[in-house]
Amino acid sequence: MRYKLTFVVGLALGYVLGTRAGRERYEQLKKSARQVAQNPAVRNTAETAAQQGRQFAGKAYHTVSDKVVDRVPESVAGRVRSLRDRNTNGTGQDDWGTSNT
């Protein structure tokens, strides 16, 4: 209950302060956020973090699939093997169409 009350108070306070700041402040914050997002250093850091995340996820996927494949029905194990083979010998793209490079 305490957390709900804290959340509601914070929400109300944010609403009041946001409406007092007005549209000009919103546009100023939006412009600043856009400038930060377009900064080459920020973009490089974000891309590096995304690439490392994909690498770690791939390693974890193979580790978990090796350990789990013995404990699941054969139909599921076959699907896991086919997905693993496709990802290592496939087109270099995941199911979302993004590159793994």
pLDDT digits (tens, 9 = 90+) for 1-38: 777 888 888 888 888 777 777 878 778 888 998 999 89
Query: What CA–CA distance (Å, rounded) separates 77 from 84?
Result: 11
CB atoms within 10 A of CB 6: 10
What pLDDT, on a 0 to 100 scale, did the predictor assign at position 26? 77
pLDDT of res. 93: 55
Instruction: Show the DSSP H helices in 1-101 as ranges.
Output: 2-38, 40-68, 74-89
Q: What token pair was written down for 89?
A: 């010998």
Which pLDDT value is given to residue 60? Answer: 86
Which single residue is written with the structure tokens 């306070």?
13
pLDDT 10s digits, 38-96: 999 999 999 999 999 989 988 887 787 777 767 778 777 777 777 777 766 555 555 55
85/71 Cα distance (integer angstroms)? 19
For 44-82, letters b (16+ CB in 10 Å) and e give eeeeeeeeeeeeeeeeeeeeebeeeeeeeeeeeeeebee
> Quick one: pLDDT at residue 75?
79
Confidence (pTM): 0.45
Burial tier of 9 (Cβ tally within 10 Å: 0-12, 13-18, 19+): exposed
What pLDDT is stored for residue 89 in this prediction? 53
